[in-house]
Every structure is written in structure tokens, then in C-alpha cells.
Chains A and B, each alone.
Chain A
């Protein structure tokens, strides 16, 4: 089997991740912050250590600004609904995932004004267009760090400086980039970053986070949920302390333990080594697909400017048929359709049919890619 659906979720997971998850239940299975016994304290240590590692990995100095959520969607909702108020203006791009688009469309009905900056057909966002979209009421710019359909990387550092000149904040959806390319929030000027644990960070599903930059005023962000935090229990009001303000209810200890192990696995290998491997696989995939005359490949066609995601369509064939035949006849697993990103498919010109998306992972080999290309060329021609 050749698994090329790592942009949906990475698989297989490093064995260290599985071990960390069972270990934590066995040896540190108390409720963190709710009790004072050894199992509760052990659980709290696992969570705090992971917070510190994420802060270091993403380039912020205060680990208490790492807010754990269920996934990137949850983190994006927390940021958008926590920051935006009626009358505020938001700038976003035309390659966004529905994790960004749907909450924004909902907020629009509540009086938020939205500008969608068009990207080029290969998924590139021109910073001059972002600058043109800025208004005096712009409170936030939100962009995907990389498109989940074509993998094109956005120039977030340049967008950050545009945001800051306008007195606005930058929220980056790093679902496809955290763990895949080096991110330094401070150096890049990213104010808020939403990540998910189960993709390139090699962790399990059900854990993600919102990382809040050191200079962001958290008193202006409202929590999405309120409830028990284990702190200031005498009060019936939500505490202002970080991270408790934004983390009500019992934490996903098992998910956090797995995420921490995934992060350490990445750091042991080095993000540059991972990135190099993905670039080589991406180039081979692009070259191989481009050589098949019936195949149309979307995106920048340049692994230097994208993460390891390649989408294509085939003249005269439905993407669903290709996906099914690749799976059934060749055990090549892809994802077909609109990838929860109708705006992105409209941008690249593959709406409403969608595309076949191939997303290698760290465990994908060059032979896997060659075999997948062979399989695709056979499916296309029969």
C-alpha cells in the first residue's frame, strides 16, 4: 500500500508517538490540575513540557501562550470569534480552507466585513493585493500558510508587516506547514498561529492549538468556551490567567503526549532534513505527472515554493473514478474532490469537479512515488 493522503492526516505515525500515548495512560493517567496526587502531577508535567516544546519549536518565548484545542479548526474559530467584533474588517485569501471560510461567512452575518483577496491560478497570494484590501477598520488578516489543495506557500512575513503597519493582527492557518517547514513566529511576525497535531507534526487526531504571539494583548481575546479550569475554583467567572482562560474542561492528555512525541521525533530528524526529503519527492511527483499528456497538474509546480501536496485532473475522467481505481487496483491512497476548500478550487480552475490530491509524507519513499506514477499512467490510459 502506498499512502499519499498525508495532507488529510499523516500515516503511519512514528512508533514513539504510539508508545508515548499508551505510556501516559499507564503511568500519568490523573486529571492534570484537578487533584494534587502524583498521577495528576505527572499528567500536568506531560502537558506543560509539551507546551514548552511547542513554544520553542514555533518561536515564542512564553509557553503559557500555547493554547491546546481539539484541532486547527477549533483554534481558528477561537481566534476569529475571540477577536472580531461587529464593524471590524477582515482580509483573507481565495485559497482558504473552510476552517477559515465558514466561520468568516458566519461572522459576516453578525456584522463583520470581509475582503477576499484573489490568488493567482497557481495559488500564489500577491502581497500588493493584500495591501490594497486594507481599510481603516481592518482588525485581522487571516491566511493559510500553505494551500491544502496545491501546497503553495504564502509570503506570511510580508503579509505580517502589512498587517502591523495597518494596526491589524495576522492569524496564520498552519495546518499544512507546522512540522513541514521551519516556522519562527517572532521572526516572521505571526501574531496568532493555528496548528493541528495529526498532520506533519506526526501526532494523533484530536489535538491542535492556537499559539498566541508574545506581543498580542490577550485581554482583547474572548474565550470560545467557559468552564472548569482547576484554577480559581472559588469564582464562578472565567479566569483571565493563561492558558486557563481559553482551556476549559479536561485536557486531551493522551493527544498532547502523542503530539509531544511527534514533535521530538521531528526535532531529532531536523526540519531541514524532512523538508529536503519532501522536496525531492515533490519534484519527482510533479515531473512524473507532467509527463502524462492526459494529466493536468495544478499549483506552482515548484517544490521550493510549496509543501508536499500535488493536485491533478485527467481529461475525460472523473476524479472519483481515478481515486477509486488507484485504491482498488494499485493500493495507492489519494484524496479526491474539493478538499473542504471550494474557494481554492475556484481559484485554480477545478471547481466543481475537484481534483485528485497526492500528499506524500516523511515515510514515503522515492520508489513509492515512482510506483504511484506508474499506477496513475495505467489508470489514465485504460
Chain B
């Protein structure tokens, strides 16, 4: 079963930028409502395959997309 992680951002524009960048690189990602247990910063968060965590982080760092935090999601992926 796939384990998911989630990237939290401060702004919607940053999420949009991240989605485009990672989509272009071919990562399997999905935008989801920000899980309440983590943050109230921005309404949308980016879910990704936890196995790709390091690569996802480096794509965002390289493009200087500011993000708040990365968390592991529970088994239900929420």
C-alpha cells in the first residue's frame, strides 16, 4: 500500500507553482484540503508518494518554492 506524505505551504500561489513543477517532472501528486492536524496556513496541501519525499523536496528547493513543512500522512492518506 502506498504511503503518502504531504507538503504544506503558506500561500495558494506556492501550491500552484509546486503542482506545476512536480507535475512536469512526472511525479504522482494530488492537491488535498490541508489536514487540520498539521496547520491552518493555507487551504490546500500537496500529497505525494512518500517514497519520492527526498526528490520532491529537492525539486521545490531548487525552484525556490517556499513551503512550510512536510509530514507523513496516516494509512488512510488524509
Contact = CB atoms under 8 A, between A and B. Distances in A.
A231 B42 contact: yes
Of A41, A45, A232, A239, most buried by chain B (CB within 10 Å of CB) is A41
Nearest to A32: B12
Interface string B49-60: 000000000000
A200 interface: no
A19 B31 CA distance: 26
Interface in B32-68: 32-34, 40-45, 66
B13 A41 contact: no
B29 to A, nearest CB: 12
A234 B13 contact: no
A48 B44 contact: no
B78 to A, nearest CB: 11
Contacts, number: 71
Interface residues of B, number: 21
Contacts of B40: 233-234
Contacts of A49: 16
A51 interface: yes
Contacts of B43: 33-36, 40, 230
B12 A37 contact: no
Interface stretch (A154-162, A172-180, A241-249): A241-249
A41 B11 contact: no
A52 B13 CA distance: 10
A40 B13 contact: no
A243 B10 CA distance: 11
B44 A36 contact: yes
Query: How large, as a class, is the contact surface on chain A?
Result: 20 to 34
A232 B12 contact: no
B17 interface: yes
A44 B44 CA distance: 10
B7 interface: no
Contacts of A35: 33, 43
Contacts of B33: 35-37
B11 A231 contact: yes
Contacts of A243: 11, 13
Interface in B1-22: 10-17, 19-20
A173 B13 CA distance: 25
B70 to A, nearest CB: 17
Contact of A48 (B13, B34, B66): B13
A323 interface: no
B44 A41 contact: yes
A43 to B, nearest CB: 9
Given A51-B13, A241-B10, A33 B31 contact: no
A211 to B, nearest CB: 14
Nearest to B13: A64
A59 interface: no
Contacts of A33: 11-12, 42-44
Which of the listed residues B40, B44, B45 has the most CB atoms from chain A within 10 Å of its own CB? Answer: B44
Nearest to B65: A64
Q: Which 4 A-B pairs have the closest CB atoms?
A: A36-B33, A33-B12, A48-B16, A231-B11
Interface of A: 32-37, 40-41, 44-45, 47-49, 51-52, 63-64, 229-234, 239, 241-244
15 contacts: A33-B11, A36-B31, A36-B32, A36-B33, A36-B45, A44-B44, A48-B20, A52-B20, A64-B11, A230-B11, A231-B11, A231-B41, A234-B41, A239-B11, A241-B66
Interface of B: 10-17, 19-20, 31-34, 40-45, 66
Given A33-B11, A44-B15, A48-B12, 16 more contacts: A32-B12, A33-B42, A36-B34, A41-B44, A48-B20, A63-B13, A63-B17, A64-B11, A229-B11, A231-B11, A232-B10, A234-B41, A239-B10, A239-B11, A241-B66, A243-B11
